[in-house]
Structure 1
Amino acid sequence: MKSLLLLAGLFSASAQADEAAPRRPDLPLWELGVGAAAVSQQAYPGSDQQARRALVLPYLVYRGKLLRADGNGAGLRAVRTESFELDVSFGGSLSSGSETLRAREGMARLGTLLEAGPVARWFPNGRSARDRITVELPLRAVFEARNPGRHRGFSFEPEVGIQRRADSGRWGYGASVGAVFGDRRLGATFYEVAPGDVRPDRPAFEGRAGLIAWRLGANVGMNVTPDLRLYAFGRLDSVAGAANRASPLVRQTTGASYGIGLAYTLKRSAARASD
């Protein structure tokens, strides 16, 4: 679920430092680098605990005509025009980690999730606009990373964002507002309390389909040098009016997630991207 996709969001932000610059015809076809980040995420929408991570991971940017791995994620781009594109994309999520969540004590741990599905993006003022507006409509199937055959449901995550495309050496920044919807199976993954997990302060609850959370986000980034990029993000999630707001696993209405990091490009291709 994208509301938990902080790992992908942080390291794709390193790719966006180039993507956020005004379009140039000489971008390399691929870039290989390493990113380091510190992340504090709400364990799940409605949780009263944070999951904190320090991450050092490699990343790849690939700007192929069909296959893409960039600031919008990794996947197969089926359609592309100046104002619209359709991807078949993939993603992943951070788990709740080894930390015991008080609300879920004695229950199964929330594991890492994988996602796959189509994403439609509309650029009302054009993809090359400096202040680019993006309407994103992703629909993805969700699976467990440890057991890809275990289907955890479907998510639909509409989002509207604006991104200031930075000049060289200057800050770029953006903001977005969106929502996360899930089917009954996804709602049960995060909020259901089965009869065997009932406690005096945790009554039984059946997960429901519908709104999971509202989301408000912001990001900022800058090219410090041609190879070194600095980036940061913050996000608020709210379960006000959500379908599973009455679950005993919901301990607070609003929660924050944030992170800061550096990305360093180790190598670029001599071949140039076609667009």
Structure 2
Amino acid sequence: MKSSFKRSPTRLAFGLGAAGLVCSSAAWAQAPTALPLWEIGAVALGVSQQAYPGSDQNVGRGLALPFFIYRGQVLRADRGSLGVRAMKSPSFELDLGAAAAFGSNSEDISARQGMPNLGTLIELGPRLKWKLGSAPGGGTWRAEFPLRAVFDLSDDAAHRGWSFEPELAFERRAKGGWRYSTTLGLIVADQALAATFYQVTPELATLTRPAYTAQSGLLGWRLGTSFSRSLNPDWRMFGFARIDSVAGSANQNSPLVRQTTGASVGLGVAYTWMRSSERAGD
């Protein structure tokens, strides 16, 4: 697998897109009980990720950003939630979720030479979370069903389509302050979002990259794992590894798909500068 570590020209978009990942990782790294109502801190994170599902190249990113976490009963900015929590019961929760994917410069990706850059994408939309109960080893099972609109921060927040990303997660807190999570999910996209990654218009076709019309449907599969550990009350470390596959996907035959499976990894540390004495309600 080839790697590219050149910085994207859209630095502002990169920082904004990373904010959701930062808040989610920093929040997940903590114990689930008696959490502060709000926290302010900073995080340093290094990521090597597949340029897009099906690419044979990785792009590298390193950043340091502030983060803000708020755990209100209704207003939330915590663990991938952003905005309003509409409903919560012992088994179900409905909220507005957010996710982000870093952009990449097409000139750094051989399959996309001469094509538009892949911008930093941010996803916003409702998410249903379902607590499935206890799992082996003292862990818990959870299912999530996010439906999200996708916007390109590198292009004035232009709408790029819709995605549906159901996911099954296993979480476990072990001795010594370690926490682990394993997730298995899939991504279903409409034609507009699929075209962002896989369509080749006739004017951009070459001898080795024929024209291709992207199809809606299964975009890919994801298997991921993450870990975190509190080093002291203010410092935490966290990391993740993820495998993405386009096997059996609607656009597996696109000329932009160069390999079926690719990997992404990340490692970071978070520092909490200030926190409230008031505890969150849940």
TM-score for the superposition, normalised by structure 2: 0.88
Task: Tell me if structure 2 keeps the 8 A contact 1:216–1:235.
Answer: yes
1:272 aligns with 2:279: yes
Deviation, 1:46, is 0.2
Deviation, 1:213, is 0.7
| Counterpart for residue 28 of structure 2 | 16
Distance in 1 between the 2:100 and 2:86 partners?
21
Deviation, 1:95, is 0.6
Q: Percent identity?
A: 48
Q: Which amino acid aligns with 1:192?
A: Q
**Aligned-residue CA RMSD in angstroms?**
1.9
Q: Which amino acid aligns with 2:46?
A: A
| Counterpart for residue 117 of structure 2 | 109
1:254 aligns with 2:265: no
Q: Which amino acid aligns with 2:110?
A: R
Deviation, 1:10, is 5.1
Deviation, 1:147, is 3.7
Deviation, 1:93, is 2.3
| Structure 2 unmatched ranges of 5 or more | 1-16
1:220-274 Cα shifts (integer Å, max 9, x gaps)? 1100101100111000000000100000000000000001110010000122212
Distance in 2 between the 1:17 and 1:97 partners?
31
1:37 aligns with 2:45: yes
- For residue 240 of structure 1, the aligned residue among 227, 240, 247 is 247
Deviation, 1:68, is 1.0
The residue correspondences of 1:1-275 to structure 2 (distance < 5 A) are: 8-9=20-21, 11-18=23-30, 21=31, 23-24=32-33, 26-97=34-105, 100-125=108-133, 131-148=139-156, 150-166=158-174, 169-275=176-282
Indicate the SS of the match to 1:207: coil
Deviation, 1:11, is 4.5
TM-score for the superposition, normalised by structure 1: 0.91
Deviation, 1:6, is 7.2
Distance in 1 between the 2:154 and 2:60 partners?
21
Distance in 2 between the 1:111 and 1:10 partners?
19
Distance in 1 between the 2:201 and 2:226 partners?
38
Task: Tell me if structure 2 keeps the 8 A contact 1:68–1:74.
Answer: yes
Q: Which amino acid aligns with 1:259?
A: G
Change (3 A) 1:97 1:213: same
Distance in 1 between the 2:140 and 2:18 partners?
22
Distance in 1 between the 2:21 and 2:67 partners?
12
Change (3 A) 1:229 1:149: closer
Deviation, 1:98, is 7.3
Task: Tell me if structure 2 keeps the 8 A contact 1:75–1:90.
Answer: no
Deviation, 1:190, is 0.3
Deviation, 1:162, is 0.5
Task: Tell me if structure 2 keeps the 8 A contact 1:122–1:134.
Answer: yes
Distance in 1 between the 2:44 and 2:138 partners?
28
1:93-128 Cα shifts (integer Å, max 9, x gaps)? 2111476211000000001112211000000117xx
Aligned residues: 264
Structure 1 residues 264-273 or 252-261, which shifts more? 264-273
1:167-209 Cα shifts (integer Å, max 9, x gaps)? 6x42111101010110011110100000110100000000110
Change (3 A) 1:193 1:139: same
Deviation, 1:166, is 4.5
| Structure 1 unmatched ranges of 5 or more | none
